[in-house]
Structure 1
Amino acid sequence: MTTAIVFPGMGPSRFADAGRFMLLNPYARKRLAVADEVLGYRVTERFRDGGADYSEYAQVAFLVNCLALADRAADRADEEPAACVGPSFGQKAAVAYAGSLSYEDTLRMTVAMARCEEEYFREHHKDVVTHSFTRLPEDRLKEALAELDADGEWYEFSGYLDDGFHLLSLRAGRLDRFKKRISELGGYSMYSMRPPVHAPAFAELRRTVEREVLSGLTVRAPRVPLVADQDGTVLDSAEGVRTMLLDTFDRPVDWRAVVDSLTGLGVTRLLFSGADNLFRRLDRTKRAFDVHSLTPKSAVAARS
């Protein structure tokens, strides 16, 4: 059975869900010791006191936990995964795992990107959210979008996750009406993200990160095949990895393409390393792979 490791996108992250793992698990404590030294603060304390689900500290903690769980899995595995992928925020852990960035630089990059995003969305696109919805077939989706077009409403796709499952960025003022229309058409609204993500309108944020963050980091070719979450491209060069990291700001995620790419590589088993309530549950994922998951809670339950 050929395995790929998946570092999941980040959902709401709270100390109550992961704090015990971070404080007690030896793999997490080792990762945390480095993070504390590199960043100059106690990550667990900032994460505990930070409040916001997507704060800089929550993002660092999520990265630490994903990689610590991968360390734990590696010590128990008979062979290395044949490929890795990190949809959305999971890119950061994936590039560290694949050796394209050192762990230390990945920590610095995570913090710097979080600060760039916070500053950018404080001034730009303040009225935009990214909304996720499912159970909306293509013909009904076109109907909903046609109504937005007819009203002159701006929108851009931020993700293609599964059949009938999309992420769409649009004005917050139109969101309630759009959600109502989704329901009327037989679809189901899930959650809305603010700040928004992965839309072509955010090209200036991409340029800012390229100039202020990635220009100061050494990106290397991955040591294992790394699958880009925007289009499923299998990356084997430093430039490809660098482009993927920038594409995350202004190109939508396409999990459908990722699944196709992994199956093309002969992957039959996915190991999710980190808390995930989305990608491992998608019908497309479950049909194609034998799915396994490691989370802070499961690791604590296993007492290791």
Structure 2
Amino acid sequence: MQAAAIQSAVRGFAVRQGAGRHGRRQVAVKASSDAKFADYKPKVAFFFPGQGAQTVGMGKEVAESVPAAKQLFERASDILGYDLLAVCGEGPKERLDSTAVSQPAIYVASLAALEKLKAEQGPEAADAADVCCGLSLGEYTALTHAGALSFDDGVRLVKIRGESMQAAADAQPSGMVSVIGLSADKVAELCEAASKEVPEGQGVRIANYLCNGNYAVSGGIAGCEALEGMAKSFKARMTVRLAVAGAFHTDFMAPAREKLQEALAGTTIREPRIPVVSNVDAAPHSDPDVIKSILAQQLTAPVQWETSIRTLLDRGLERSYEIGPNKVIAGIMKRIDKTHPLENITV
């Protein structure tokens, strides 16, 4: 989504929230209050992973060695109603991989990794970041680290997010495919060609702009199959059907977006203490109402990760940490800038 489109959506959100006859003046205030981070100059970034980074065994070691990390799992378990650490540490894999479970699991495991960083390198290491962002789900982790979202509220939100996305996927079968070896323009052409071959509502589009040569496409099952069948003719190196519940970051997730909006409306979000770069428009936001709107839109809007990283690098980013399970973001970063220093804090 382009910057003009997101600003239009944000303005619409403000009006719908009851601006009334004073709507224009209130929107102007919101636009002004959301500009705090417009001229940010990043030096150290914290990146937090999203769904797909989970692995059986994550969190077990850090919970044993870092008391603060264990406390996070215990608090989350009380909220979720099941032993999250046991699921993360022992599985079964099928349960951990389910959208409803993997999202709170990755959120908590990533914040546990942050406690590991503090334990190993001192509290000042966690304070070193002057910008952060997360890959889809990881945006909630980033907002928590930035002080915009409390841990308990974060657990509640990602629980609702995961359950709602799972329900939306169950209601209307859909899928995701990773296309390897093509530019974004070529993948868009491939999506257009595949969509023409299937019934209306079954088409596909780019959902995750990760890095050149690696873009994830979402859509109907028929559209995914058509794309897989046509990929070689577009010179794609390969396609990989992703093990996810459904077509994330498309209109297939509209029912989940509505449920998440309701939850966000009742959640306290504060102004972040440092910039948190949004997946939707690759920009940081400071106004809590705008952040809520962005988080809801994120479920049906493409993830602008490649633009986010390139923007950070162009603005002078010097070094980064990937904090959480696996090393997905590190792999993406190597494709964008293989010289950029990135340290992994895994669990």
TM-score of Structure 1 vs Structure 2, range by shorter chain: 0.7 to 0.9
- With 5-14 and 88-97 compared, the bigger mean Cα shift is at 5-14
Letter in 2 for 1:113: R
Match of 2:301 in 1: 251
- Provide structure 1 residue ranges, at least 5 long, that are not aligned to the other structure: 297-304
Task: Give the drift of 1:199.
Answer: 1.2
- Which position in structure 1 is the counterpart of 2:107? 63
Q: CA deviation at 1:56?
A: 3.0
Correspondence for 2:227:
178
Write the distance in 1 (CA, Å) between the matches of 2:185 and 2:266.
46
1:25 positional shift: 3.6
What whole-Å deviation, never above 9, does each CA across 1:35-63 have from its counterpart, x for those lacking one? 23333432223444553213433332221
Pair 114,140 (structure 1): closer, same or farther in 2 beyond 3 Å = closer
Query: Counterpart of 1:95?
Result: 143
From the superposition, tell whether residues 138 and 247 of structure 1 become closer, same or farther in structure 2 (CA, over 3 Å): closer
Mapping of residues 91-240 of structure 1, within 5 Å: 91-123=139-171, 125-126=172-173, 128-137=174-183, 140-141=186-187, 143-152=189-198, 154-184=203-233, 185-192=235-242, 193-211=244-262, 213-240=263-290
CA change 1:34–1:152 in 2 (3 A) is closer
Q: What TM-score does the superposition give when structure 1 sets the normalisation length?
A: 0.85
Shift of 1:66: 0.4
Closer, same or farther: CA 266–156 of 1 in aligned 2, 3 Å: same
Q: Find runs of 4+ consecutive structure 1 residues off by over 4 angstroms.
A: none
Shift of 1:90: 0.6
Residue 54 (structure 1) aligns with: 98
Q: Secondary structure of the equivalent of 1:226? A: coil
Q: How far is 1:113 from its partner?
A: 1.6
Match of 1:35 in 2: 76
- Cα distance between partner residues in 1 of 2:117 and 2:57: 23
Question: Residues 27 and 71 of structure 1 are in contact (CA less than 8 Å); yes or no, is this contact kept in structure 2?
Answer: yes
Shift of 1:143: 4.9
Letter in 1 for 2:206: F
- Change in Cα spacing, 1:180 to 1:25, as seen in structure 2 (3 Å) is farther
User: Identity across aligned pairs (percent)?
Assistant: 20
- Superposed displacement of residue 108, structure 1: 1.0
Residues 82 and 267, structure 1, Cα contact 8 Å, conserved in 2: no
Alpha-carbon distance in structure 2 between the residues aligned to 1:138 and 1:209: 29
Root-mean-square deviation (CA, aligned residues, Å) is: 2.5
- Structure 2 distance, partners of 1:119, 1:82, is 36
Bigger mean CA offset, 8-17 vs 77-86: 8-17
Instruction: Give how far 1:288 is off.
Output: 6.5
What's the offset of the Cα at 1:285?
3.7
